Amino acid sequence: MGLLSRAAETDRRVVVLALARMVGAAGNSFLIVVLPLYIASDLIDIDVLLGSAVGVGPASVTLTEPLLIGIVLSLFGFLNSFSQPLTGRLSDRTGVRRPFVLAGILLLGTASGLYTIAETYWHLVLLRAAQGFGAALIIPATVALVNEYAASDSDRGGNFGVYNTFRLIGFGFGPVFAGAVVEGGPYDLSLVGLPVLDGFDAAFVAACAGAYLSFVLVFLLVRDAAESSAASDDLSIRVRGEDRLLDPVFALGLATVAMGLCIAMYATLQNQINVRLDQAPVWFGVQFGAVTIANVLLQVPVGQASDRIGRRPFLLAGFVLLAPTTLLQGIVTDPLVMTLVRLGQGVAVAFVFAPSLALAGDLAREGESGTTLSVLTMGFGFGIALGPLASGWLVGFGFVVPFAVGAVLAAVALVGVVTQVEETLGTNDGTPTAAAD
């Protein structure tokens, strides 16, 4: 009820963008479940690659099925992250957002449909790379629009709360539906003149359809903000602060890398966690989803509260909670306790997500929302991409090691926020003003 009432009060354009991202995120998250199964099936021949060595000497790595799967999944995150400053800067320079969102959605959806005719592993790599760039077109432009739609600083946190909530609903429930679609195949569509679809092709078509539906929503109902204007030629990302070591937005971007890494490292260790906790796979699904559930419940109220009392208290509380909830995942041995710890980590993420985007929006100069906000979205995407690879390597030194490293990084992020991020709400021309009490 709280989410629905807040959505009713929110700018319609923000709600449409949020719904479009929800549909698109659900379709894209299908692939997180489907692609590993697809690569492991006999439909894609990877035997010629297995056992091959990549690299030279001590740096060489032997290709295994899990590594090949990891490459495909992580490629999306890395290309998405590293391309966002470029696409965000380009949308600022041209002074438009909507064409970037539409082009990115088309790229994501078309690539999803093309998986149905992919025949080799390298086809999957190319399509996933294209989707990573498509996401990079969408994300900075979308968050810039949400930022520019805010009538004032006091609306920004709530708007980002609504946007993030719907997006996370799509991302969280997409994998559940994907598993059901794959298991339910094949589908006989001869009655409507279409061929029989196996479970994999049905999932790819569903992801494609979700993206195209998202495209229609944005095309019909979303326009660039009236106040959007082309930015100046100087759109470099500010690293050094004027009166401190780091620019506050850059410091938040680094902190967001740590946050993304902390929540993403859990996925790689599914088998080890199930054995360690002596739990059925269904428990892992609940624990994995607990972070998303906490975010769905808290994004809107946290975003609204940050509009009233400021951003920094939530950022500090979030990183204070992130460190112990990350470390405890490497220590606890009971499934229920692990679920509660993951919920706590989700609360920490919710405390950081909307307020950090809102703070970056507060400080963004006119016409620079895409570049400024891309620092945070890039940081989070990079952390999400790096987390599974880091945990897969660090767990070889002991089960607790990846979680201990994540907790240390969360503590470093807390220090960065304490020392480099002040409590300000900014105007769109970049002039800081005192935060509301």
pLDDT at 261 over 80: yes
C-alpha neighbours within 13 Å on the C-beta side of residue 359: 31
More confident position, 254 or 436:
254
pLDDT in tens, 110-157: 999 999 888 888 999 999 999 989 988 998 888 888 888 876 666 777
Please give the Cα distance from 397 to 274 (Å, whole number).
18
- CATH, range 1-226: 1.20.1250.20
**CATH 1.20.1250.20 residue ranges for the chain:** 1-226, 236-437
pLDDT in tens, 89-106: 888 888 888 999 999 999
Topology, domain 236-437: Growth Hormone; Chain: A; (1.20.1250)
Handedness of CA 233, 239, 240, 246 (dihedral sign): positive
Answer yes or no: are the C-beta atoms of 132 and 77 closer than 8 Å: yes
Least confident of 61-75, 263-277, 349-363: 61-75
Q: Tokens 């703070």 map to which residue? A: 359
Q: Tokens 């999306």 map to which residue? A: 76
| Residue 173, beta-bridge partner list | none
pLDDT at 311 over 90: no
pTM of the model: 0.75
DSSP per-residue letters across 414-432: HHHHHHH---EEE-TBS-E
pLDDT at 427 over 50: no
pLDDT at 33 over 50: yes
pLDDT at 171 over 80: no
Task: Provide the 8-state DSSP code for 227.
Answer: T
| Residue 54, beta-bridge partner list | 61
Please give the Cα distance from 9 to 150 (Å, whole number).
12
More confident position, 243 or 23:
23
pLDDT in tens, 269-291: 877 888 899 988 778 778 887 88
Q: Could you tell me what percent of the chain has a pLDDT over 90?
A: 22
Pairing of strands 432-434, 53-54: unpaired
pLDDT of residue 48: 80
Mean pLDDT over residues 309-319, rounded? 91
pLDDT in tens, 372-388: 788 888 888 888 888 87
pLDDT in tens, 172-198: 777 767 777 877 878 877 676 667 788
**Mean of all residue pLDDT scores within the chain:** 81
Q: Is the peptide bond before 186 cis (omega within 30 degrees of 0)?
A: yes
